[in-house]
Structure 1
Amino acid sequence: MKTRRNRGRVVAAALAAMCAAAVLPGRAHAADPGEYGFDPGAKKVQGATANVEASELDEGVPYRSTIRPGEKLYYRVVLDDVSNAYVSAVAVPGGSGPVAYGDGIKVSLRETDDTSCGSEQANFGSGEYARPITAYAYRTIEEGPASCQESGQYDVLVERETKDATDTRAWDLELRFLQEPRLKAASAMPTKAPENWPSGTPGPLTGQQQKRSGGSGYAQATSLENGRWQDTVAPGQTRFYRVPVGWGQQIHATAGLSNSTGAAGEFVGSALTLSLANPAQGFVSDATLAYSGSPASASLSPLPPVAYRNRYDSSTQVNAMRFAGWYYLAVSLSPKLKESFGAEPIPFELSVQVKNEAEESPYEGDAGVFGVTDQDREVARKGQNAEQAAKSGPMKVVAAAGIGTGTVLVLGLGVWTLLARRRTAAAAPAAPASGAAGPGGHGPPQGR
């Protein structure tokens, strides 16, 4: 029995070693500075210049597409008559060089007769440097007569604005279509925006600073909880993070850029941009800082606690805080710093505070991406991104490093075969001590 137990331990150890080798850190989805990390499950889709030829987007499925300067591209979604719907587009210019203040994208959701349901624009602003920017359009269900309330097909129109007529390079797009869950009791929900909410700025955090490396895209965003987080960002690079914010909770964030340890450089306006997006990847707010080589910081303007009624406010900063879930922080550093301070990454601190106790969800059943669970908070504590969290189960760990189940089975069978041969050899009669030939007239193998 002892021998069998030992053999079982050998097999378990061998399989564990194979799994451990499969999940060595730092191997999956490595990205160069400035490279955007698209959702690995994203499907490719081509936008149509004619709306009747538009490809349909499925709910909850990420998509990749491209758009050229001045293009107006159509996609299509099918909506019911009871759900609020959201379609987001992340524009990824890549290494497209300088951009103008108004360069960017506009996303709109429209009826097939071109009636607009809602739209949002995103541009590069005063920083005038290329980086991933996001915008979303939505259809909301309203009481009384209103447009865009019927079930059926709707157009998603993505438009690109580029001032430079000589720029012909395409931008990548990451698209996503989501629908909000139904309310428990719609009649009991407030239908007016909040008149007052705590708008004070919390005091600075104290305590130990911790290191946590940001992701290269929304899908790879590193999870954070309350605390002071240290990372580095290179000129032209964007780091992504995500924070679980429940109903009734209020998020505050500050990015502080370290002093330059190299030679002194010229003053750079809008050197760093800290931006916030909501769970549907809709833009919420941003803040910028100027840099001359000395420490500098920028904080997001005070934002209201997450509440369903926020959607009725006319301010983007307020109405975008309309549901709970993972909120995304992006830290972008201008490529202009490379000329003044060199290409080496600069350390920075991201301070995150989520205030108040989480309140009950207003939705029926599972809130999906529009809610925060205890598991989400544990993921934030561990610092996992969405892919790591999804693949943290026993067998899913193997898949996270790109090694298939079939490969594991083959390796496992190899271990079992080896042990079976050893058992057979151990059970066979001992060879004659003199090395005399056996029944076949051959002596024992030599040299082993």
Structure 2
Amino acid sequence: MGQRFYRLELKATENAYVSVTAVPKADALVSYADGVEVSVQDSDGNNCSPLDAEEARFGSSESPRPITATAARRVGPGEKSCTGAGTYYVLVERTRSSGTIRSATAREDWDLELHVASEPALRAGGGTTPPRAWDSASPVPPSGERTPREGGTSFNDARGLEKGVWGADIKPGETFFYRVPVDWGQQLSVSTDLGSSSGSSSGSSSGGGVGTGATGATGAGSGRDRGYVSSALVTSLHNPVRAQVEDSDTAYDGKQKSSSLKPLPPVAYENRFALTDEVTAMRFAGWYYVSVHLSPDVAEKFGDAPLDLTLRVDVEGSPRPGPAYAGTPRPEDDFGVSERDAEAAQRGDTAAAGTGDGGGDGGRDDKLMAVIAVGGIGTGVVLLGILGVWMLIARWRAGAAARF
């Protein structure tokens, strides 16, 4: 009940990262403590690193949206557990509210997206030095004309973005996914603007400013108290293995709002040796994912018409050479940026479309593979092999053995 096991066959010299994204239905009932947890374990049931058993919760927004947890098996001089080659297990657990509060959440079925990536160790002599100092001043968001670009619904169909000002109409309850290629040595910054609920039309912003917004509930713009939603807009940033880098919650009172993610360091291999989570997460070059969720509570206060959403994306710095890996990352296009990536970002391509997916060899199988996991370790445990199919979707629907 609420647990699924998967199997990994790992070499002794590779870091393995497993991400699990829980995708509840748009009308699902979720509470603060509901979420998903993932860990990588050895054959004796020991976590490879307790710090790498991560959970994700819906939190204060209590709004149904995709949430992601990521776990890892890491190798290197400082790692003392899970160091050998062999069979490892991925444990996925669903966390639920305690007691009888919102007990109905336990009966909701969630879809899951699983992603596995392998990063080789460095060649002999590779260092473990801390990251260099970096400019932590808040960047100035880009300005200029806003380019319309609708977002995807998950990591798998996230729309590509490059440096610039982008926008779309977002409805209460919707989540948009975007992806931005960030190379070694480059620094990413993201800010979001949400338009006012007053006005006569939506999607009419120009000059990069916040749009006029959509007409909201009766009385919007009349000067009366139009309500307040404490966690109306949730913006999250995830790195190429889908581990969370940073997120922000923005309150909304019907007037235009702007928020920015905290300043982030340039992408560098040595960031993994830093002391703060935001810095350690900026450890890979590749596609970084931005998700933006508008709470359905906004509809209750201001009407269900869409609001103007503007994203200001900046990528600063010149690309630098990557680390001296002792092997090839798998999938190869998860840990780097190519010319095809830059073209895909400009066009707004998605990885699921099979275009602009990182400069692979063109013959890689990008199909989504449906899998079902069993409830315990045994011969029926599904192998999440690092074999060439990297994106797995597990749909655990209602049923005696399939409900998650």
TM-score normalized by structure 1?
A: 0.69
Alignment of 1:316-395 (within 5 A): 316-362=277-323, 363=325, 367-390=332-355
Aligned mate of 1:178, from 117, 133, 142: 117
The one-letter code of the counterpart of 2:59 is: G
In structure 2, distance between residues paired with 1:250 and 1:391 = 21
Going from structure 1 to structure 2, the CA distance change for 1:391 and 1:225 (only over 3 Å counts) comes to: closer
State the partner residue of 2:230: 269
Instruction: Report how far residue 325 of structure 1 moved.
Output: 0.3
State the partner residue of 1:310: 271
Instruction: Report how far residue 166 of structure 1 moved.
Output: 3.2
- For the pair 1:201 / 2:162, whether they are aligned, the reply is no
In structure 2, distance between residues paired with 1:212 and 1:206 = 16
In structure 1, distance between residues paired with 2:158 and 2:280 = 23
Instruction: Report how far residue 101 of structure 1 moved.
Output: 2.0
In structure 2, distance between residues paired with 1:388 and 1:170 = 27
Going from structure 1 to structure 2, the CA distance change for 1:131 and 1:145 (only over 3 Å counts) comes to: closer
In structure 1, distance between residues paired with 2:112 and 2:313 = 28
1:187 aligned counterpart, secondary structure: coil
Going from structure 1 to structure 2, the CA distance change for 1:359 and 1:145 (only over 3 Å counts) comes to: closer
In structure 2, distance between residues paired with 1:348 and 1:300 = 16
**Does the 8 A contact of 2:235 with 2:290 survive in 1?**
yes
Larger RCO (alpha carbons 8 Å, 6+ apart): 2
**Does the 8 A contact of 2:179 with 2:290 survive in 1?**
yes
- For the pair 1:75 / 2:36, whether they are aligned, the reply is no
Going from structure 1 to structure 2, the CA distance change for 1:100 and 1:278 (only over 3 Å counts) comes to: same
Going from structure 1 to structure 2, the CA distance change for 1:391 and 1:319 (only over 3 Å counts) comes to: closer
Aligned mate of 2:28, from 94, 97, 103: 97
In structure 2, distance between residues paired with 1:357 and 1:350 = 22
In structure 1, distance between residues paired with 2:286 and 2:353 = 18
- For the pair 1:137 / 2:71, whether they are aligned, the reply is yes
Instruction: Report how far residue 145 of structure 1 moved.
Output: 6.6
2:7 aligned counterpart, secondary structure: strand
The one-letter code of the counterpart of 2:22 is: A
Instruction: Report how far residue 375 of structure 1 moved.
Output: 1.1
In structure 1, distance between residues paired with 2:32 and 2:352 = 34
Instruction: Report how far residue 368 of structure 1 moved.
Output: 2.3
- 1:228-286 C-alpha deviation (Å, 9 max, x unpaired): 00111111110010000000111100010000132323111110011001111111110
The farther-off stretch of 222-231 and 339-348 is: 339-348
Instruction: Report how far residue 391 of structure 1 moved.
Output: 8.5
In structure 2, distance between residues paired with 1:119 and 1:302 = 26
RMSD: 2.2
**Does the 8 A contact of 2:173 with 2:293 survive in 1?**
yes
Instruction: Report how far residue 173 of structure 1 moved.
Output: 0.8
In structure 1, distance between residues paired with 2:38 and 2:104 = 24
Instruction: Report how far residue 206 of structure 1 moved.
Output: 2.0
In structure 2, distance between residues paired with 1:186 and 1:162 = 45
In structure 2, distance between residues paired with 1:175 and 1:106 = 12
**Does the 8 A contact of 1:96 with 1:169 survive in 2?**
no
Rg larger for:
1
- For the pair 1:154 / 2:119, whether they are aligned, the reply is no
**Does the 8 A contact of 2:344 with 2:356 survive in 1?**
no
Aligned mate of 1:221, from 136, 148, 158: 158
In structure 1, distance between residues paired with 2:150 and 2:231 = 23
In structure 2, distance between residues paired with 1:98 and 1:199 = 39
Which structure has more helix as a fraction of its residues? 1
2:292 aligned counterpart, secondary structure: strand
1:91 aligned counterpart, secondary structure: strand
In structure 2, distance between residues paired with 1:104 and 1:188 = 38
Going from structure 1 to structure 2, the CA distance change for 1:71 and 1:360 (only over 3 Å counts) comes to: same
State the partner residue of 1:258: 195
The farther-off stretch of 252-261 and 95-104 is: 95-104
1:358 aligned counterpart, secondary structure: coil
In structure 2, distance between residues paired with 1:205 and 1:304 = 18
Which ranges in structure 2 are unaligned for 5 or more consecutive residues? 199-215, 221-225, 367-404
Going from structure 1 to structure 2, the CA distance change for 1:295 and 1:104 (only over 3 Å counts) comes to: same
Instruction: Report how far residue 373 of structure 1 moved.
Output: 0.5
- 1:285-329 C-alpha deviation (Å, 9 max, x unpaired): 101111111000111111111111111224221111110000000
**Does the 8 A contact of 2:344 with 2:355 survive in 1?**
no
Instruction: Report how far residue 140 of structure 1 moved.
Output: 0.9
- For the pair 1:284 / 2:245, whether they are aligned, the reply is yes
Instruction: Report how far residue 193 of structure 1 moved.
Output: 3.0
**Does the 8 A contact of 2:141 with 2:191 survive in 1?**
no
The farther-off stretch of 210-219 and 91-100 is: 91-100
Going from structure 1 to structure 2, the CA distance change for 1:314 and 1:165 (only over 3 Å counts) comes to: farther
- 1:349-404 C-alpha deviation (Å, 9 max, x unpaired): 00000111111121356742110001110111111112335399xxx9xxx9xxxx
TM-score normalized by structure 2?
A: 0.76
Going from structure 1 to structure 2, the CA distance change for 1:82 and 1:347 (only over 3 Å counts) comes to: same
1:219 aligned counterpart, secondary structure: helix
In structure 2, distance between residues paired with 1:223 and 1:200 = 26
Q: How many aligned positions are there?
A: 324
The one-letter code of the counterpart of 2:56 is: A
In structure 2, distance between residues paired with 1:177 and 1:128 = 28
The one-letter code of the counterpart of 2:125 is: S
Going from structure 1 to structure 2, the CA distance change for 1:240 and 1:355 (only over 3 Å counts) comes to: same
